[in-house]
Amino acid sequence: MVADIHFNHRHAIEAIRAGADAIRINPGNLGDKAKVREIVHAAKGVGIPIRVGVNSGSIPKDILEKYTRPTAQALFQSAKRSVNSIEDMGFTDIKVSLKASDVLTTIEAYRLMSDAFDYPLHIGITEAGTAFTGTIKSSVGIGALLAMGIGDTIRVSLTSRPEDEVKVGFEILKALDIREHGIDLISCPTCGRCEIDIIKLAKRAEKELSNIKEPMKVAIMGCVVNGPGEAKEADIGIAGGRGNGLLFKKGKVVRKVKEDAIIDALISEISGMIKR
C-alpha cells in the first residue's frame, strides 16, 4: 500500500505507523520543513521509501515567478529542491513523480530529472482526460518516456473506471515489449480487398478475449492476400475470405471457418492452447 498524502503531515505519520509500504508526499503542499522532517524521520524508522510528488499546482512561489508559469524547468527545480531538502535530512530512499497535464511539459520535466538524479521515477500524465483522449495522452507521454528508458513505475490517470486505467497501463507496457499480459491483438485496417466484417470481428475478439491473462498474439486479418503473413506470425490468426476465414495456428492452416463462427473457433482454440 502506498499512502498518498496531499495535505496533512499527521495523516502521513499515521499511515506510516499503520504499516504503509511507502508514502507519497508533496513537500510543496506540506509547507513547513519541520513537518517534512517529521515524516522523513518516521519513514526512516520503519524503513519505507518516500515518493516525492511534485505537480504544476504546487510549485514554490519564487520558482514560479522565475519561470513565470509551470514549465518543465519550474517543475524540475521544484522537485530538485524537495529532493535536496530530504537528502539533507539524511534520507535517500526516494522516488519522484513530476506531474503536469501537458504531455510535452511532463516529458521534458522527467528528462531533466532523469539527467540530474538516479532516483526511481514514477511517471504519468496527470488529469489526462476521458478514456479516449486520456488514453492517447497517457500513451504518448508515458510511451515516449519509457522508450527513452525513463520511468520505473507508471500511473495512467483517466476520468474513467480504475480498471480502465490498469488496462491502458498494461497496453502501454505491452506495446513497448516491457510486459507480456493477455492478448496482443493484431488487426488490419480493412480495405477494398476485405470480404468479411473485420471491424465487428476485431471488436468482438477484443471483448471476448479480454479476460485471458496468458500472453498470446492473435491476428484478425481481412483477406487472403496480406492476411496469411500476419496470421502465420501470430500464435493464432484468421485471414478472411468471402464470408469465411482461414484459421491459422502456430503458422499452419488449421481449417476454414464460416464468418459467423470465427470468434467461437478462436475462443475454443485459444482455450485448448492455454490448457495445454
- Site of interaction with ligand SF4 (CB under 6 A): 188-191, 193-194, 221-223, 225-227
CB of 227 to ligand SF4, least distance (A): 5
Kindly report the three-state secondary structure assignment for every residue of 48-89: CCEEEEEEHHHCCHHHHHHHCCCCHHHHHHHHHHHHHHHHHC
Nearer to ligand SF4 (CB atom), residue 214 or residue 233: 233
CB of 228 to ligand SF4, least distance (A): 9
Helix, coil or strand: residue 238: strand
Helix, coil or strand: residue 196: coil
Task: Measure the CA–CA gap between 21 and 9, rounded to whole angstroms.
Answer: 17
Nearer to ligand SF4 (CB atom), residue 86 or residue 196: 196
**Cβ atoms of 112 and 72 closer than 8 Å:** yes
CB of 202 to ligand SF4, least distance (A): 11
Nearer to ligand SF4 (CB atom), residue 98 or residue 221: 221
For residue 56, what are the CA distances in angstroms to 8, 52, 109, 126, 229? 19, 13, 11, 10, 48
CB of 180 to ligand SF4, least distance (A): 25
CB of 197 to ligand SF4, least distance (A): 12
Identify which of 65, 81, 92 has the alpha carbon closest to the alpha carbon of residue 26.
Answer: 81
**Cβ atoms of 30 and 36 closer than 8 Å:** yes
Query: Nearest residue by C-beta to ligand SF4?
Result: 222
Nearer to ligand SF4 (CB atom), residue 123 or residue 196: 196
DSSP string for 140-193: HHHHHHHHTT--SEE----BS-HHHHHHHHHHHHHHTTS---SEEEEE----TT
Nearer to ligand SF4 (CB atom), residue 164 or residue 197: 197
CB of 83 to ligand SF4, least distance (A): 50
Nearer to ligand SF4 (CB atom), residue 169 or residue 240: 240
Task: Measure the CA–CA gap between 120 and 112, rounded to whole angstroms.
Answer: 13
